[in-house]
Structure 1
Amino acid sequence: MTFKSRFFKSAAALSVAALALTACGNGGEDTGNGNGNGDSAAEGNGGEVTIGVFNGWEEGIAVSELWAYVLEEEGYDVSLEYADPAPVYSGLSTNDYNVTLDAWLPITHADYVEEYEADIQDLGAWNEEASLHIAVNEDAPIDSLDELAENADEFNNEIVGIDPGAGLVQTTENEVIPTYGLEDMEFTTSSTPAMLQELDSALEAGENIAVTLWRPHWAYDAFPIKDLEDPEGALGGAESMHTFANAEWAQDEANSELVGWFEGFEMDSDTLYSLENVMFNENEDVDDYRPIIEEWAAENQEYVDGLTN
C-alpha cells in the first residue's frame, strides 16, 4: 500500500468523526446510545458509559474503540464522543464524559489536569513509552534540532504542526522554537490529518519536511521518517498515557468493577502499533472500526480477555 493510500484512509475516517461531531452539535460522535451527560454514568454491568476521545489522536481513538467493543461485550452501552482536548477535559470535570483514555503526563496535558484536578481522577498509566518529537524525512540533511536553524532553507523555512490547542504545539512554540533559535521559521498549525497530508506530499515529491509528531504513532511504520535529536531536552522526556475519569463517577461504588478494569489497563507500544496499523494503515475508507476491532480481538484474544480479568 502506498503512503498516500495509508494516509487518506486515516484522514477519511477522522473526517467522518469530525462530520459526526458537527452533526451532534454538542461536542462528539455518538457511537452508542449514551447521551454524553452525567446521566450516562455506568451503573454497574449493563449501564451506560461515555468516553471522550481526542480528535486526531490515533492512539486514543484505537484504545477507545477497543474498550467500546470490550465493554459492550460485557453488557455496557458505550458512547464515544469526539472533541478536542480542552472540551474533553472540561466535559470530564462535569461528568458529560465519564472517562478519557489519552491523557499525556507529566508535560503535554499538565495544564488541563491542573485546571480540573478537583473534579477528575487519574486511574493510572496504561503506556509509559510516549514522547514528543520534531520528525523529518529519513534522508534529511540534519539529525538534530540544533542544526535546524542553519538549515531552515532546506525545509522551506517551515515546521508543520498539528492542532493549535495540542500540548505538542504549545511545547513547540514555548520551548523548542526559542531554545533552538527557530523564530525565523514559520510554524503552521491546522490538524493532524493536514500535517500527515503535507508529510505524505513532501515525501512523494522527494522534499525535506519537518513536522511535529509523537510516539507511539502509526506514521513511524508508514513513512520513512526519523526524529531529530533534542540535546537541550526542550520537548521533555518520556511521557505516560493515562486514563482519567470524572472523580464523582469513579468514586461511585456502582462503578467499582468498571473502574478496576480501567485501573488495570496496560498496553505496550508494540501491541498499540499492531492495533493502529490494522485500523489506520491496512484498511482504506473505513467509517466503522468495529469489524476491524473484532478481527484484531480474535487474533489477540488472550490480551483482550485480560482487560476485564
Structure 2
Amino acid sequence: MKRKLGIFAAAITVGALALSGCGASNSNSDSAGGGGTEASASGAASKYANCSLTDGVADATSASAGSGDKNITIGAFSGWDESTATAYLMKNILTKNGYTANVKTLDAAAAFTATTKGDVDVITDVWLPTTHKTYIEQYGDQMEPLGCWYDNAKLTIAVNSSSPAKSIEDLKSMGGDYNNTLVGIEPGAGETGVVKDDMIPAYGLQNMTFTTSSTAAMLASIKKAEAEKTNVAVTLWKPHWAYSAFDIRDLDDPKGAMGGKEGIWNFATKGFGESNPKAAQLFKNLIVPDQELSDLEDLMTQKYQGNNPDAAVNEWLTTHPDFANQLQTGALK
C-alpha cells in the first residue's frame, strides 16, 4: 500500500493525529525483534499476555441496552491513529444502535484517569501486556476489559536504513553516529515508559539523550534526517504508516526489552458492562484485521487529512457494507 509523503505535512500542521498505518498482520504469527512479552508482563497486566480475538464474542442483536446512560464517551489516545480509527468507528456503530456517542482525544495518562472516573466510558487502544502495564497495574481494578481486537502490535526502535546499527545493543557503541540521541514521542505515552524503564537500562544506553515531545516531532526528525542524509534513531510502533513513507527499518531487540508482540484491548470504566450490556457486547465483538485498518486509516489521513474522521468512517463503511452487521452479530474474523 503506497503512502504519500505529502500527508506528513498535514500531520505536523494539524498536530492532533500522528498518522499510523498498518505494517503488521492481524494474526498470531510471531513478531520479529525477539519475544520477551511474557517476561515483561507483571502484576495485573500479566493476565492479558494472551490476546484471543474471539473471547467474549456473541450476538448483540437482542442484547439489552441496559439502564445506563445512553450518552457514551470514547477516549482516543493523542498521537495513536489506530486509537482514533477505532474510536470513531465505534462511535458510528453505537450511534446506529441508539446511543449518543462522542470521541474525546486525550494523552494516554489522562485517558486512563478519565476512564477510571467515568468521564470517559471506553478506551480502545490499550496495549498489553507491556506498553500500558503501568496503567493497568495502577488503574486495572477500576476498569473492566471489553475484548482484544488486534493481536500483533509491536513497539520498535527504528533507524534510517542506511545507518550502521543493526541491533538496539549497537547503539551503546554507535551512539555517536546518531548524535547520541534517541527521539521519543509524548512523555505520557506507554512506549515512553517502556523505553525509559526497560529498554535503556537493559542495553546500558544511559549516555544517550532520550528526548520526548510529540509523535509529530518524532516524525519530523525522520523527515529531516532523510532530507539531510543524516542518521536518526526513534521510538516507533507497528502498525504505522512511516514504514511505507520513509526508508527506515527496525533494530533487532535480542533482549526483548521493547516487549515483543502485544494485543490491543478495549477497556471501560468499572460497571459499564452491567449498566450498558449491549454497548459492551458491541465493543467485545470488535475485530479489525490489518487490511481493513489500513483502509480506514488511509481515508482518515490521506483523503481527509485528519480533519473529518466521521466522514472517513462513513465512507469506509460504504466500501465494507457487511462490517456493521457482522460486528453486531459477532461474525467478524
**Per the shorter chain, which TM-score range?**
0.7 to 0.9
Aligned to 1:266: 287
Rate the CA distance shift 1:79–1:5 in 2: closer, same or farther, 3 A: same
1:110-163 CA distance string (max 9 Å, x none): 121121222210111100101111011122222211212222122111110001
- Matched-pair identity in %: 35
2:310 aligned with 1:287:
no
Aligned partners of 2:85 and 2:296 also within 8 Å: yes
AA aligned to 2:319 is: E
Partner of 2:12: 11
With over 3 angstroms needed to count, the CA separation of the structure-2 counterparts of 1:292 and 1:260, relative to structure 1, is: same
Structure 2: stretches of 5+ with no match in the other structure: 19-64
CA contact (8 A) 2:76 2:84 kept: yes
| Rounded Cα–Cα distance in structure 2 between residues aligned with 1:75 and 1:9 | 34
Q: CA deviation at 1:202?
A: 1.3
TM-score between the two structures when normalised by the length of structure 1: 0.85
Q: How does 1:118-137 map to 2 (within 5 A)?
A: 118-137=141-160
Q: How many Å separate the matches in 2 of 1:225 and 1:231?
A: 19
Deviations 1:271-305 (A, max 9, x none): 2222222212x236442222222111111222333
Q: How does 1:54-203 map to 2 (within 5 A)?
A: 54-203=77-226
CA contact (8 A) 1:135 1:213 kept: yes
Secondary structure of the corresponding residue to residue 203 of structure 1? helix
Tell me the distance in 1 between the aligned counterparts of 2:3 and 2:320: 27
Three-state SS of the structure 2 residue aligned to 1:242 is strand
Name the CA distance, whole Å, in 2 between partners of 1:121 and 1:157: 41
Aligned residue in 2 for 1:305:
325
C-alpha distance in structure 1 between counterparts of 2:84 and 2:180, whole Å? 32
C-alpha separation in 1, matches of 2:123 and 2:254: 33
Q: Quote the Cα distance in structure 1 between the aligned partners of 2:12 and 2:67.
A: 36
TM-score where L is the length of structure 2: 0.79
Q: Structure 1 CA distance, aligned partners of 2:304 and 2:231?
A: 27
Match of 2:252 in 1: 229
- 1:68 CA drift (Å): 1.4
Q: How many residues align?
A: 282
SS of corresponding position for 1:308: helix
The change in CA–CA distance for 1:292 and 1:137 in structure 2 (over 3 A counts) is: same
- Alpha-carbon distance between aligned partners in 2 of 1:114 and 1:2, rounded to the nearest angstrom: 37
Q: Deviations over 1:5-62 (max 9, x none)?
A: 2212233344489xxxxxxxxxxxxxxxxxxxxxxxx867992110111111111011
The answer (yes or no) to whether the contact 1:9–1:284 under 8 Å persists in 2 is no
Which deviates the most, 236-245 or 5-14? 5-14
Compare 44-53 and 119-128 and name the one that shifted more: 44-53
For 2:3 and 2:192, the matched residues in 1 are separated by 28
Listed as ranges, the gaps of 5+ residues in structure 1 are: 18-41
2:237 is aligned with 1:214: yes
**Cα distance, 1:86 vs. partner?**
1.5
Aligned Cα root-mean-square deviation (Å): 2.2
Question: For residues 49 and 285 of structure 1, what CA distance do their matches in structure 2 show?
Answer: 26
Pairwise CA distance, 1:222: 2.2
1:42-92 residue CA offsets vs partner (Å, 9 max, x unmatched):
867992110111111111011111111222233321111111112211111
Contact 1:160 1:195 in 2 (8 A): yes
